Structure 1
Amino acid sequence: MAEIAMRIVHIELGKHLYGGAKQVTFIMRGLRDDFGVENVLLATRGSAIAKEMQSQGFEVIEIPAGGDLDIGLIWRIKKVIQSVQPDLVHIHSRRGADVFGGLAAKLAKVPAVISRRVDNPESRWVTKWKYGLYQKVITISDGIREVLLSQGLSKLHVITVRSALADDATSSCHAQKFQQRFNLTENAFVIGVVAQLIERKGHKYLLQILPELLKTHPNIKVIFFGQGKYRQELEMEIERLKLQDTVQFAGFVQDMPALFGCLDLVVHPALMEGLGVSLLQASQQGVPIVASAVGGIPEAVEHEVNGLLVPAEDIEALKKEVSRMLSDEQLRERFGQNAQQLMRDKFSVQKMVEGNYRVYQTVLSSSEM
């Protein structure tokens, strides 16, 4: 398909620069550098991504954004679209953008696509109506795509373009600094959980198996990286299970990619997950993983290749596989080596950028609007 000159408005209303927002930075840079696309970012006023993309020389327009109930977003977004006059609008986030952004693009008579990053199902009529606003829906995993197809969207309407990581993001672990920072002994076996502190990430299932695991592996230390409203409940569970000396909260850390290489194992017992960027980051640093086989996780963690998969909420299976990882250093090393190759083969930034660009080409060369 021949290349088409493009001017794209990207809408990302998240306030922080991780997860989906980080993916937007990769996409915009790749589109500019590899395909000569002119990109404009529409972001929440004062957001981290707005500051980051301004520093990289992109045109950034900031607006107030109050989330899913801020109906005024329709008119603010429409005004920006009409001012910029793009060929296409790409909506990357929720927080009101998934509905109000689609309506604004429709009112401005500009074709739009949306990235879908979560696998939680919605009602069929909501799915049909909301995604009917868009010429294409881009899912970051086949797992999410299957959810949307099961809710009645057509195969031609939904396209998978997997998330990616910066190709140069590998880094070495500074073991001594890491141990000092998190008050760890040299022989500690460090398990990391890198996820928002919300119930569906499944932190409690790891807590429930720790007392048994500590009987045979007393050197386990667990670090929860992330922040969220579920922290108080987790702290109560840690106290109930007497795990205060085993588990610590690190909060959200800016240098997380550099810390993955210091972890011995990543555990992610989530109840649902679109793909799991933290799992990609762990694999890129060669860290083995035990995770739930839900959503898009089996695309990021291939069973017996770069990690082990267990059924969600299955405590016995989780205990068995974490114990296996604890006891088998050669298995961990093999998974770590496989993980880095898997990332190069399936989750490169170049592939993600090309995938999004091809979707744009398809939309702009058709008469779907």
Structure 2
Amino acid sequence: MSYTAALSACCLTGFAVLSPPAAAAQQTLVGLLREQADFSSSDLRQLAEGETVVKLPDAADDREIVVLGVVRVAVPADFAIDRLRHIETVIAGGHVAQQIGRFSEEPGFDDMAGFSLPRGDVRALRECRPGDCDVKLPADAMEQVRAAVDWSRSDVQRQASRVMRRWLLDYLNRYRRSGDSALATYDDKDEPLSVGEGFHMLLRESPILLEYTPELHEYLDRFTEIELEGAESFFYWSVEDFGLKPVTHLYHTIIYQPRGAAISDALLARKQIYASHYFQAAVTFISVADAGEGNIYLTMLSRKRFDGKVGGLQRALLERRLKDNARVQLRDVQLRLQDSYLAERGAG
């Protein structure tokens, strides 16, 4: 299997990118989408016309949901990869991200100046106890918030937001120093839930990543223990609404460009290191495939591990919400990339 085809296969099972020549890349992607992702002729026609197509591949178990989305974008591959290095600006102002911000190279308190804790979370934190909390936190963080906020005052949202900003920043910096050993264990329910364990379960379910890009797999598996030439990391926070409760996230984003590879061979992985609701862990993979004539196919595959089993009507609801969310987010990214490319060309 060629390098391009191998990376394409990784996309559909957990990681992704395609490289030029455009005709070969497009043919490889179309074939894989048809053969491995159950894309119909109608789906492929919609893609060619600029529509977003989203599928729900089979998940490993009943705690996971997998979402695969593809959209054609009228920008060159190198432009798209350059903009994805600032993914927080690409998705800011869209229909999903209510609040968003990037951390500095040395994260500081002011990096979250725009953060405001959702009102429902403020109410929940007042009553939080280990084993009974409507916000995902470790037990010591619950106590920290309760003790630091004067709940009798009228500015409890400002106070609680400030305390959570401090906790999130400290948590992020512990992770940057110590890697996955610093990831939280959520104590909001009777069963403690480890973020690190959840992430490594998701990573193990992408064996083709280990087969074809073992150096990246090892870097994801052992962050801070090893370095990876060609990899760049950054962190950002967001508050996202996909139709249920707004969720506060911390993300670690890694862009990997193999040695000697073209810029369009860059791989993007987004690792969730904190989520205030629903999710034990999540990882998203984003790729670019040259579609010819100055266009690309942007592929996004997300694996999400929930805090409990999801089945029946609950699963149907979550799948619909996540599928709609992916479609809207990809559409937002498509329009943002195209608008910025046209603006840049006009300015040039």
User: Fold-level match, TM-score > 0.5?
Assistant: no
Q: TM-score scaled by structure 1?
A: 0.26
Point out the structure with max Rg over C-alpha: 1
- Of structures 1 and 2, the one scoring higher in RCO (CA 8 A, sep 6+) is 2
Greater share of residues in strand: 2
